[in-house]
A and B are shown apart, each in its own frame.
Chain A
Amino acid sequence: MAAVTRRPWPCAPSSGPRPAPRAGELEAARRPARTYRLRGRLRGAQRHGGGAARPHLGTAGTAVGLTMDPECSQLLPALCAVLADPRQPMADDTCLEKLLDWFKTITEAGSSLLLLQENPCLVELLCHMLKPQDLSSRVLSFSLRLTGVFAAQEDCFQYLQQGELLPRLFGEAGPLGGAAWTAPTVRSGWIQGLRSLARHPSALHFLADCGAVDTIFSLQGDSSLFVASAAGQLLVHILGLSMQGPADGPPSLQAGDWPACAQKIVGHIEESLRSMATPQITQALNVLTTTFGHCHDPWTRVLWVRLSPLVAGLLEKDPVPAAHSLVDLLLSVARSPGLSSSSCGLWETLAQTLSRLSPTQAGPLALGILKLQDCSQALRAQAFAVLLQPLACVLKATAQAPGASGVLDGTVGDFATVDTLLPSKAACVGLLCRTLAHLELLLPLPQRPCPWPQAPLLGAAVTLLQLCQGSASPTSDTGRHLCALLLGCVRVQRAALDFLGTLSQGTGPPELVTEVFAVLLEYLRSPDSSPTVLKKAFQATFRWLLSSPKTPGCWDLDPQALLFLRELLPVLQKRLCSPCWEVRDSGLEFLTQMTGRWGGQAGFRHTLLASEVPKLTEQLLRDPESYVRASAVAATGQLSSQGLCISPASPEHPGGQQSPLSELLHILSTDSEGFPRRAAMHVFTQWLRDSHADVVGDTEEFVAGVLQVASQDLDWEVRAQGLELALVFLEQTLGQPGSPCPYAVTPPVVAPACPLAQALQPLCRVRLFEFAFRALFDCDRPVAQKSCDLLLFLRAKMASSSSPQEARSSPDVASVEAALQRWQAGDQAQPLGDLEPEVVLAVLKSMDLEGLRGALAESSDHVEKSPQSLLQDMLATVGILGENEADCY
């Protein structure tokens, strides 16, 4: 208090009643936030393009919003008044977050001290928090964090210190001892405030003086996980800050010479590591993990040398406490560039940990070790053995003859080991799924163990799948026990199928590959396979078919794979008739993939055409489920591209079936759901790109028809895809656009032999420009962006070819421009009519397409994002609340 009376401190408790905001301010503040409309945006964008920039927060390339503009300064007192008034609660605390972000941006760009001096209401607000009153915990938390943000700058810190504000907010006199402390959000605000504040040596002294470190220690065990975690993070931050040392040089590398604050924290960690209570050990380990993960200064090495005996001591306990955190710490240390050398005894600790932890706990550690770039071979071998252990157990338990598990044999002991590894269903399933996931992660890495035991792993995956299906016939008791545990377990089935698919990247002994195909077929056939399992079985099958040995010079499937395909197609046929739509859907996806890959190959074509699959696919275009229809559209598109569709009109069914093109056009124009229509557009685009036989006949009619339907579609993705199709047509008509890659080998651009205007004729005939202009003013931004790109591409073409005939000021141009302005204004009823190429060229030239593109690139909420808008919104909300309150009485 004394300090307050001594200095003209704006937040002095005795400074009397808060000055009421002026009427004008309040009125401005209570103005509802402006709503943002598309047309407004476009107009604004055009202004923006013309150089009339508006201040936008966070807009790339502009510095606006980084200082407090006068409008905001004007609104701020009213807002502070509202925040300090407990009768006007903030309904939405995301506003406070945004406000804080804004202050952070401002303080990062300029002086906090200046900000506070120019806006005394801010300090008033902070001082207001010190009064004993019924404040909302959100606002209190916000104020604590805001104080931290300001105090991050040393001069501002000193300024706030003068008013004793900091100790009163963060010390024992503050919320720390009061009722507000029970709210986790206040405790969190306290920690985050200190986290922001702790940036300079003065802050360290402050922390030491106010005894904050002890409070942080206790908050590590807070009931709120967020608070506990933040407390840990703050400790790491303070430790790092104190080790940066005073300005006169780097800190000593001798642990005994460390600053008092660091000593205190390290002492606390040591004490926790010696503790018998697992939560305390976990806290200490987490702090250390973060420290070694974020800081690689030399002192961290000293820290590890000092603490590693204590960490190693944890391994002596039975069971090992906080095993997961211990694994995290060891991996964090191992990854730290300054520590990973063997001199720290780290490899020995890791090896010891691997052998001490249970298989479930050791799995992540083993994976982490195997991912390390440099580590001893012996440790890698040990880690890999740990990782493989569960699968080795499975192989051993189900082996017909001893030694059948091959390379994995050495990794496992007797059946007793199996029992400890796979005791109950939950444990067994969890362990196996994790192991498979770990191995799947490891497989594509360059540092994966070498030699990679491909064959035993394949064997293990196949065995697991057989066990889950009940088709394995283990002879041992353990095997039978395992079978009973895993039978019908969907989780293991999914994990094993994923893993099996990944293993297709390598080769395997032919007899094992045969087994792989057999087990996949078994899964695809089984009526008990769940839809997700079936989908994964389809995916794995495709991957294995892809990897099946190739006949040299031929892309067709090898004879064995064809044989498999012959067995597979009846299964696929049945799956396409499944009552479960997910199954029909994944069946169709699989068919699309297969056809895309082998559709041109004789063996595949022959087998597929001999089956009912193409006919069923055609029937599924009328499936009641829209996802299935969409997949059927994709499959039909692919089949048709490869000439594998059923004959359109057979003598038995005259007129009964339509050509795929008319079927898909029908779907595009009539289907009630978006997915099938989108799929149809994708197919049409692909057909146009590939010069599909049905399209080549009369491309213009095809494009015109599709664009006409697409332009009326309510789904923006369909319209966007329409632009994609238009672009393909444009490219085909005018030649390829310039390659975006400067090193790509591009064929010499074939300039159209005829003048550009003439080349544009087909585009006009298919009404491509009308479609594109309409899309340019589309209410969905991606469509407008795409259209803009298309027109810009066209204009680039125009620039490259000098066209003498331009109708720059003909009456047609004027009428088109007038129509476009109406379109832009939202009135798109009137069509543009038949356009002449010259008119199009003239209109394109006159348009500010670049400006439009710039405007469209901005996020759609950039106006709302402005700080002024935020302040207005917050005040408006409170105003509305107030009105409601008045209504109630």
Chain B
Amino acid sequence: MKLYCLSGHPTLPCNVLKFKSTTIMLDCGLDMTSTLNFLPLPLVQSPRLSNLPGWSLKDGNAFLDKELKECSGHVFVDSVPEFCLPETELIDLSTVDVILISNYHCMMALPYITEHTGFTGTVYATEPTVQIGRLLMEELVNFIERVPKAQSASLWKNKDIQRLLPSPLKDAVEVSTWRRCYTMQEVNSALSKIQLVGYSQKIELFGAVQVTPLSSGYALGSSNWIIQSHYEKVSYVSGSSLLTTHPQPMDQASLKNSDVLILTGLTQIPTANPDGMVGEFCSNLALTVRNGGNVLVPCYPSGVIYDLLECLYQYIDSAGLSNIPFYFISPVANSSLEFSQIFAEWLCHNKQTKVYLPEPPFPHAELIQTNKLKHYPSLHGDFSSDFRQPCVVFTGHPSLRFGDVVHFMELWGKSSLNTVIFTEPDFSYLEALAPYQPLAMKCIYCPIDTRLNFIQVSKLLKEVQPLHVVCPEQYTQPPPAQSHRMDLMIDCQPPAMSYRRAEVLALPFKRRYEKIEIMPELADALVPMEIKPGISLATVSAVLHTKDNKHVLQPPPRPAQPTGGKKRKRASDDIPDCKVLKPLLSGSIPVEQFVQTLEKHGFSDIKVEDTAKGHIVLLQEAETLIQIEEDSTHIICDNDEMLRVRLRDLVLKFLQKF
């Protein structure tokens, strides 16, 4: 059993598991932090961005000044943003049989895999994962395609040139593999390969293994997966949450008794408690708005935004913010808000019960109804006529490199009355803000990451008790900035196995059994013999048939009748010659009685030695040694076959034959 690790990002995993005869890809996350090296794509022509000076080498050589721009001491690539793909060279991805998706954030690289690697398999995901994943992809494609960039920078990627660049460009890894965003056509094609599954549904893969999605509690439709054969069980835990937010709670019980538990997608900000962060978010939002400033919340169009809107729904009246408009701007805003209300079966119990009242499960419906929350596909159109300040704007993309957020950063960045509040934990807020410096607006970092923290993981592992834990290497040591925080790492026994990008891990676990079925007529023919109370043995003569990874013992074909005519022999008639079967032996040899028997048969000068595994009976005169162990007996004598046979027969007297 092997694990191929194609991504180094612990929360955007992409691993391939080879288990029995199947090749299973676990998630295909897309690392978008690479886009932070690029200049933002402004929706409206930005004089500030277009007038940034080109970057030149120390010696004054300015051949890169078209590709690289300098802003407040940082250098950015002036080109269409590119993404860091999972490894494609480590394993032939066309051999992947299935892809299991755990949540909508972990499928963003899917078009790259399904459309460009010769992949011919099936993708499995839950319905909300697919629908919201589609929205995220649609938004991404829309954000990038609607701001076409004439030039595409590639010179800087040259290895010789890259090492001359300042950090962080100099240190960016695998830049040659960075790719531009996929198209909507590729998205559609990729999504068409997905087969929808429900929680606890058992899916057979070629008869060899069975995969089952379980609720992971993190997002709408998010799942952990169980991959099991008859005797082995592998759990894949990715992006799970024990907090009571909107999704169905995590199913922990089904993860019990795994041989291997692959653990990814823990919280990215283990030191920030989501509750505290929500409080921080509300306080800062109210403080800004009360002072007449605007609040900008760069966010994804689905996920935490639902919880934030719910908190605000409860908070705005108490904070006297009832008159402040909330705007949600995204090409998929409408679909996201509406989808969230229709996936009732995937919601937590409280929200599910609301549906039967019937009431919308999320209170943002009421915010929309009362005109407190308005949503728009983009800045253009109705929004510009409705827009009034002070206000709160939720919009993407959290990297601040594309999407409507770029416009608001340019618009509001100059006033210290305004505040940008970062709630998505995926991007370093300082790096995201770098191309907007100098910035007068206040910046608040309230990352809300509801995924498991290390305390919860430790409890989970104690409860489900897997034999082995496999996780990204980042989880096996404290974060570099807080090396004393031993609590910020996985602590389990035996220690977790860690992996890093482009590594192949042989999982520490050997398959020992395979299930074989016996045909009824063959079973009828067996005559078991009890050798110990409760244990019976029977010899079986049969033919093993293997098809679709299922093994069946069938009765052996009858011996061929001698045929008179010269018929042509068919391949199937060519039965193997059955050798004369030696009887099977069972039982144990009581040493004392054996020695007495030897003495009775004329052997003298017998010595018995105890060994770790049994006994050695030494016939000193005959220079012969009988080694008796639990599962074997050896007679060692020098070329005296007669003696050996005599002794053998004496040994056999103590054993049962059948």
Contact = CB atoms under 8 A, between A and B. Distances in A.
Interface of A: 470, 472-475, 479-481, 483-484, 487, 526-529, 573-575, 577-581, 583, 612, 615-616, 619, 622-625
* Best-buried of B277, B286, B482 by chain A (most CB within 10 Å): B286
B276 A579 contact: no
Contacts of B314: 579
A808 to B, nearest CB: 59
Nearest to B286: A577
B50 to A, nearest CB: 36
Contacts of A574: 280, 283-284, 287
Nearest to A473: B484
B290 A484 contact: no
A487 B282 contact: no
Contact of B484 (A483, A526, A615): A483
A193 to B, nearest CB: 55
Contacts of B280: 527, 574
Nearest to B289: A577
Contact of B287 (A612, A624, A625): A612
* Best-buried of A527, A575, A578, A615 by chain B (most CB within 10 Å): A527
Interface residues of B, number: 29
A521 to B, nearest CB: 16
Contact of B319 (A483, A529, A577): A577
B340 to A, nearest CB: 22
Interface in B232-282: 271-273, 276-280, 282
A579 B311 contact: yes
A579 B318 contact: yes
A527 B272 contact: yes
Given A470-B482, A483-B485, A528-B272, 7 more contacts: A479-B484, A578-B283, A579-B315, A579-B319, A612-B291, A616-B290, A619-B290
Contact of B485 (A470, A527, A529, A616): A470
A479 to B, nearest CB: 7
Nearest to A628: B318
B320 interface: yes
B446 interface: yes
A630 to B, nearest CB: 15
B484 A481 contact: no
Contacts of B315: 579
Contacts of B487: 483-484, 487
A528 B485 contact: no
B486 A622 contact: no
Nearest to B277: A527
Given A528-B273, A624-B317, A578 B282 contact: yes
A648 to B, nearest CB: 18
Contacts of A573: 287
Contact of A623 (B272, B277, B318): B318
A207 B279 CA distance: 69
A528 B283 CA distance: 13
The 9 closest A-B pairs by CB, nearest first: A527-B276, A577-B286, A527-B280, A577-B283, A484-B487, A528-B276, A579-B282, A624-B318, A473-B484
Interface in B335-380: none
A579 B284 CA distance: 10
B492 to A, nearest CB: 15
Nearest to A484: B487
A615 B320 CA distance: 13
15 contacts: A470-B271, A480-B486, A483-B485, A527-B276, A527-B277, A527-B280, A529-B276, A573-B287, A574-B280, A574-B287, A577-B319, A578-B282, A578-B283, A579-B282, A624-B317
Nearest to A528: B276
Contacts of B483: 473
Contacts of A612: 287, 290-291
B320 A619 contact: yes
B320 A622 contact: yes
A577 B280 CA distance: 9
B600 to A, nearest CB: 61
Contacts of B284: 574, 577
A526 B276 CA distance: 8
A484 B486 contact: yes
A575 B283 contact: yes
Contacts of A625: 318
Given A483-B485, A528-B273, A624-B317, A580 B287 contact: no
B476 to A, nearest CB: 16
Contacts of A579: 278-279, 282-283, 311, 314-315, 318-319
A529 B279 CA distance: 11
Nearest to B291: A612
Contacts of B291: 612
Nearest to A652: B292
A577 B486 contact: no
Nearest to B276: A527
B484 A580 contact: no
B490 to A, nearest CB: 13
A625 B314 CA distance: 13
Nearest to A481: B486
B487 to A, nearest CB: 4
A391 B249 CA distance: 42
B99 to A, nearest CB: 38
A578 B277 CA distance: 11
B36 to A, nearest CB: 25
A612 B315 CA distance: 20
Contacts of B318: 579, 581, 623-625
B604 to A, nearest CB: 61
A473 B486 CA distance: 11
Contacts of B278: 579
Contacts of A529: 276
* Best-buried of B277, B283, B446, B482 by chain A (most CB within 10 Å): B283
Interface string B286-319: 1100110000000000000000000100110111
A580 B275 CA distance: 11
Contacts of A475: 484
A475 B483 CA distance: 9
Contacts of A479: 484
B285 to A, nearest CB: 8
A475 B484 CA distance: 7
Nearest to A476: B484
A481 B485 CA distance: 9
* Best-buried of A528, A575, A577, A616 by chain B (most CB within 10 Å): A577
Contacts of B273: 527-528
A575 B280 CA distance: 9
A579 B317 CA distance: 11
B486 A578 contact: no
